[in-house]
A and B are shown apart, each in its own frame.
Chain A
Amino acid sequence: MTSRKYLVLAGVTVFAAAGDSMLSHGMKQIGSISIHHLQSLLWAVLNPWVALGILLLLAFFASYMNALSWADLTYVLPATSIGYVLLALVAKFALHEQISWLRWMGIVLISGGVGFVAGGPALTHDGSQTPELHKDPLPAASARPFGLAQGNGGASTHCEGAEL
């Protein structure tokens, strides 16, 4: 995997954690919004923390989509779950919140899960479903991405044949 791809995964993690934190901080400044005054939600975006939070969450979504274009869902989700740990550490060291031993256990388990999945290939493929592969205008580039370099059996990457 290239360093740029690690950067994308880091982006998914950091943008989600930072976006959620800023949105939460901004919404606490605004206070509770009654169900009868939902239009107040529109004004909430004028709060700089909320606006910044929304921008960061848009950046998260773009990074998430980018990551899914070259890695499996079952790789991206665990690999980026380190964001939960990041949030807990920010709560502990920046916001001086107490973290119970159960939460520390949670941090250890998530870190273990991330370590497990990060050691494997980013992309796997069934091999039985590549009907639209040759229609791709960029076959050399987009149909043979970088997961192949990681020894996942020379599998191709596209899943267009999958039926949901």
Chain B
Amino acid sequence: MRHVYTWMGILVVVFFSVVGDVLMSRAMKQVGDVHAIVKHSGVWTVLGRVLSNSNFFLAVTAMAVGFFSLLFALSWGDVSLVAPAAASLTFIGNAFAAKIFLHEKVDRRRWVAAMLVAAGVALLAG
């Protein structure tokens, strides 16, 4: 039963991490290219755009929930399982979510990269 709780905890961590990353990516695309805006209008314009973007605050909230979920999951399960499983599944989840919600063109090159990194992180942290 503890095993089930651990995996449920891992899935919750992955869910909120992916939601946070996708919302942050969406927020920053809405803000626009930071280099170009700073060059034309200064850094305060970037700050104003970021702080007036609701997706930014939702992203930070989701990331915070993901972080605290990780702490809870670590208290239930072994760190050698929770940390690598959460990190590598987040890579895979992000690839799916970016394709579906951000309409990124996740071609074969990016799938292979996501899989290699996910496997590598699992080996490195395991």
With beta carbons under 8 angstroms apart, the residue of A65, A75, A77, A85 that contacts B34 is: A65
Cβ–Cβ contact A125 & B103, under 8 A: yes
A113 to B110, CA, bound (A): 8
Cβ–Cβ contact B121 & A164, under 8 A: no
Cβ–Cβ contact A70 & B33, under 8 A: yes
A89 to B91, CA, bound (A): 22
Number of interface residues of B (CB under 8 A): 49
A residues in contact with B123, CB < 8 Å: 102-103, 105-106, 109
**Using an 8 Å CB-CB cutoff, how does the interface string of A111-128 with B read, 1 for contact, 0 for none?**
111101101100011101
- Is A149 part of the binding interface, using a Cβ–Cβ cutoff of 8 Å? no
**Using an 8 Å CB-CB cutoff, how does the interface string of A127-164 with B read, 1 for contact, 0 for none?**
01100100010100111011000001000011110111
Cβ–Cβ contact B33 & A69, under 8 A: yes
- Is A73 part of the binding interface, using a Cβ–Cβ cutoff of 8 Å? yes
With beta carbons under 8 angstroms apart, the residue of B50, B103, B110, B121 that contacts A159 is: B103
Cβ–Cβ contact B32 & A159, under 8 A: no
Cβ–Cβ contact A73 & B124, under 8 A: no
Q: Which 7 A-B pairs have the closest CB atoms?
A: A106-B123, A142-B32, A109-B120, A113-B116, A106-B124, A110-B120, A126-B103
Chain B interface (Cβ < 8 Å from any Cβ of A): 19, 21-26, 28-37, 39-41, 50, 91, 94-95, 98-99, 101-107, 109-110, 112-117, 119-126
Chain A interface (Cβ < 8 Å from any Cβ of B): 4-5, 64-66, 68-70, 72-78, 81, 84-85, 88, 102-103, 105-114, 116-117, 119-120, 124-126, 128-129, 132, 136, 138, 141-143, 145-146, 152, 157-160, 162-164
